[in-house]
């Protein structure tokens, strides 16, 4: 009798890994079409589909082009989209006033999408940075982003988006008290059923660069960064405190941004609060995968699936990802 016959344990972990059917049979985390939220960049004009230099295969769409782009994806089961506007410089000002114009690009896009695809969920960012000439998420006074003055503008922005037909408001600005202020205003104006998905833990991350390029918000005036309102990346307990506050103020869902560098935050949030929890696979994460695959360092399709399943494994109920269109096509052919 050999050594292994005498000493080897009864449990062989490789048994269930030997065949593809058994690997699927014992899989602990799954991705479905309902988990995917497609972030979309929109622009003014007609018949526009402009590729974003730092995000290969991601485009800015005019509203008419977007409606055409959505048709096959909705047929594949696309469940929801998140809208992010690229605003021309002549519409930007110190207060981001175009954000609360009821006929702005986002509001027109919402109305158009709801006419063509009434069942498609539309999520809208609540923040001023696409609309301000200084690039910050709030009102800057004497070189400081003023929290309380900003809240009034965010309330106005949230109301015009609600009235346009948005399904979920997603405040990403990280001002203190903004969820409570928006919720109070929604209730007062008969929008009691409007959902709020709070960017409850949004970190001051280096992974946002391509996104800011896509929105033309790269150049910040004083303050030169967003560290006075977005979270400091060494902190996890602070994230739990932020999430707890937002839930108490009326958030229906919470979002962690970025995704992969903050899997621990997603996991802690889900364990602690048992709330609908979402991850945002941000532009820098997308562009890194695309760049590495372009140079044949990694296999793109496998890397995409591995990363999105890591969010599910950590506890995310859904994922904002620029890979949503390709994932929908892949999921329509097989399940994971």
CA distance 51 to 117: 24
Catalytic center residues: 202, 257
Q: What is the 3-state secondary structure (H, E, C) of 152-174?
A: HHHHHHHHHHHHHCCCEEEECCC
Q: What number of other Cβ atoms are within 10 A of residue 203's Cβ? A: 25
Q: Which two tokens stand for residue 326?
A: 């390709």
Number of helices (H), then strands (E), in the chain? 12, 12
CA distance 154 to 158: 6
Which 8-state DSSP code applies to residue 225? Answer: S
Q: Is the dihedral of CA 90, 145, 156, 244 positive or negative?
A: positive
Give which of 220, 227, 224, 174 is closest to 205, Cα–Cα: 227
Q: What are the beta bridge partners of residue 321?
A: 281
Beta strands in 20-73 (DSSP E): 36-43, 49-52, 55-62
Give which of 39, 40, 52, 65 is closest to 216, Cα–Cα: 52
């Amino acid at each position: 009798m050999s050594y292994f016959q005498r000493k080897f344990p009864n449990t062989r972990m490789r048994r269930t890994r030997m065949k593809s059917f058994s690997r699927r049979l014992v899989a602990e985390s799954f991705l479905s079409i309902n988990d995917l939220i497609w972030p979309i960049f929109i622009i003014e004009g007609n018949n526009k589909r402009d590729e974003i230099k730092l995000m290969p295969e991601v485009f800015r769409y005019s509203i008419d082009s977007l409606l055409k782009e959505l048709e096959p994806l909705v047929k594949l089961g696309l469940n929801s989209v998140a809208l992010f506007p690229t605003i021309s410089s002549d519409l930007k000002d110190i207060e981001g006033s175009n954000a609360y114009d009821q006929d702005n690009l986002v509001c027109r896009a919402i109305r158009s999408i709801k006419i063509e695809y009434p069942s498609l969920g539309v999520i809208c960012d609540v923040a001023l940075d696409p609309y301000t000439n200084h690039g910050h998420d709030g009102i800057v006074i004497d070189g400081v982003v003023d929290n309380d003055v900003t809240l009034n503008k965010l309330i106005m922005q949230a109301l015009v988006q609600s009235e346009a037909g948005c399904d979920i408001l997603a405040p990403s600005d990280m001002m203190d008290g903004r969820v409570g202020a928006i919720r109070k205003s929604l209730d007062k104006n008969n929008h009691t059923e409007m959902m709020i998905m709070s960017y409850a833990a949004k970190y001051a991350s280096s992974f946002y660069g391509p996104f800011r390029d896509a929105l033309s918000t790269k150049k910040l005036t004083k303050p030169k960064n967003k560290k006075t309102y977005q979270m400091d990346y060494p902190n996890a307990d602070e994230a739990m405190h932020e999430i707890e506050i937002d839930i108490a103020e009326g958030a229906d869902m919470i979002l962690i941004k970025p995704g992969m560098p903050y899997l621990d935050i997603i996991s802690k949030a889900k364990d602690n609060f048992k709330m609908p929890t979402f991850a945002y696979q941000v532009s820098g994460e997308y562009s890194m995968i695309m760049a590495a695959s372009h140079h044949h360092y990694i296999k793109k399709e496998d890397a995409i699936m591995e990363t999105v399943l890591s969010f599910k494994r950590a506890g995310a109920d859904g994922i904002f990802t620029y890979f949503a269109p390709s994932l929908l096509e892949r999921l329509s052919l097989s399940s994971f």
